[in-house]
Chains A and B, each alone.
Chain A
């Protein structure tokens, strides 16, 4: 009788330890997701900060491209205003196609492409794009781990007690990714 009681007690203790560990792991992953998103956000803001200068440098050579400049301004405004992951991702897609348009214009102006200021901005932009891609990779990996844990048995029980909801991936279509011709930095 005594041993049965001890076994039951041991089982309860083991379950309790597992619960605490799983709970804490979920909390840690949730924080890592949030941290990952703010990592992307910092880089997106940095890119948004580059836009006015970039537009200025293009305007010096190409004055009649108002539509492209307006699209960029809108993409920038949306990017700055974005709060959720979905909004930020949508703004990023818009930004990428607008930037694609801008660099399309640049193709037609050899003097612009030769300008030192423009080249510097282009390099800076492409470095920022690299960092956005890297931050996005980290965020998506973390979200995948978090979501898997929330959805799989038995950790999903703990997740429902701790009010954990699956998080949204930061997704940008490949077509958008390719829209910006990256300046070669070697």
Chain B
């Protein structure tokens, strides 16, 4: 897939995600309106849409806040800065993305932002200490590829919208419990209530499925274009191997932001890891990604 095709596909997917979000919110309102009261539906609708709008415009900052990432200057992280600057030039970006640092010993990195002009690259202290210059450049190239082909917009928006849906369904779930005790026996259509409950349960699942569908294949694509950008697939492969062997868990991690990172931050969290054998993973196994790089570059890691 060429870069232009990728960008176009991402634009369409972004539109679908936003549309899907509006439909979900509308469905929530309808459910609430039917099973409780129309007034409450209005409140939920306004909260949902308003929160969605704010998230759309502030998504980058929100993700940074949630991940505890702070903007830093060249002097704070010279190696990272140099890598970002070099790879941006190789990618022909109009602007060098700012860098954010996460004060955490775990090794991970991500890119976020709504447009290439507002995107930034965040890395943990741990990854800068763990990787050498070549490997860090590979990781940065992976993130810059996400920025260049508009993955980050889709992924950042998806992560905040998934957050909104989770919030709403949580709210509804609680309301269902409370009103279930209060309004039993009144002239209410039980079918709608059941329907509503099913939807409330399904919404977060569908949201997280969506989030994964967005992310898994594009990790391979970003790896491939990163190798092209640096001309050094081995550097990235070595970085991935080091990430694979490093098991320090990231402190601030949520399901909503997991898919943004270069490797799944949930991997080292026993509590957050799903037991459904790969179905709910946000990332393909690092082994597979390393193998893909080895095949394309014609080398083998020792």
The residues of A with any CB-CB pair to B shorter than 8 Å are 32, 35-36, 39, 43, 127, 130-131, 133-135, 137-138, 141-142, 185-186
22 contacts between A and B (CB under 8 A): A35-B92, A36-B92, A39-B89, A43-B89, A130-B82, A130-B86, A131-B85, A131-B86, A131-B89, A133-B86, A134-B86, A134-B87, A135-B90, A137-B231, A138-B89, A138-B91, A138-B92, A142-B92, A185-B78, A185-B79, A186-B132, A186-B133
Q: What secondary structure prevails in chain B residues at the interface with A?
A: helix
Interface string of B57-95 (1 = CB under 8 A from A): 000000000000000000000110010011101111000
B residues within 8 A CB of A185? 78-79, 82, 133
CB distance from B82 to the nearest CB of A (A): 6
A residues within 8 A CB of B229? 137
The listed residue (A32, A134, A186) touching B89 by CB distance below 8 A is: A134
In angstroms, Cα B61 to Cα A135, docked, is 30
The residues of B with any CB-CB pair to A shorter than 8 Å are 78-79, 82, 85-87, 89-92, 132-133, 228-229, 231
Question: What residue of chain A has the Cβ atom nearest to residue B92's Cβ?
Answer: A138
Known: A134-B87, A134-B89, A134-B90. A186 touches B79 (CB 8 A): yes
Which 5 pairs show the lowest CB-CB distances between chains A and B? Answer: A134-B90, A134-B89, A138-B92, A134-B86, A135-B89
CB distance from A9 to the nearest CB of B (A): 27
B residues within 8 A CB of A138? 89-92
In angstroms, Cα B83 to Cα A186, docked, is 11
B residues within 8 A CB of A39? 89, 92
A137 B90 Cβ-Cβ under 8 A: yes
B residues within 8 A CB of A142? 92
A residues within 8 A CB of B228? 141
In angstroms, Cα B20 to Cα A145, docked, is 36
CB distance from B135 to the nearest CB of A (A): 12
Residue among A35, A135, A137, A141 with most chain B CB within 10 A? A137
Question: What residue of chain A has the Cβ atom nearest to residue B132's Cβ?
Answer: A186
B residues within 8 A CB of A135? 89-90
Residue among B79, B82, B90, B228 with most chain A CB within 10 A? B90
In angstroms, Cα B4 to Cα A142, docked, is 13
Question: What residue of chain B has the Cβ atom nearest to residue A139's Cβ?
Answer: B92
A residues within 8 A CB of B231? 137
Question: What residue of chain A has the Cβ atom nearest to residue B231's Cβ?
Answer: A137
CB distance from B147 to the nearest CB of A (A): 15
CB distance from B148 to the nearest CB of A (A): 11
Question: What residue of chain A has the Cβ atom nearest to residue B85's Cβ?
Answer: A131
In angstroms, Cα B20 to Cα A94, docked, is 59
A residues within 8 A CB of B92? 32, 35-36, 39, 138, 142
CB distance from A40 to the nearest CB of B (A): 9
In angstroms, Cα B134 to Cα A186, docked, is 10
In angstroms, Cα B3 to Cα A142, docked, is 12
Residue among A35, A130, A135, A142 with most chain B CB within 10 A? A130
CB distance from A26 to the nearest CB of B (A): 13
Q: A134-B89, A185-B78, A186-B79 are in contact. List 10 more A-B contacts (CB 8 A).
A: A36-B92, A127-B82, A130-B82, A131-B86, A133-B86, A134-B87, A137-B229, A138-B89, A138-B91, A138-B92
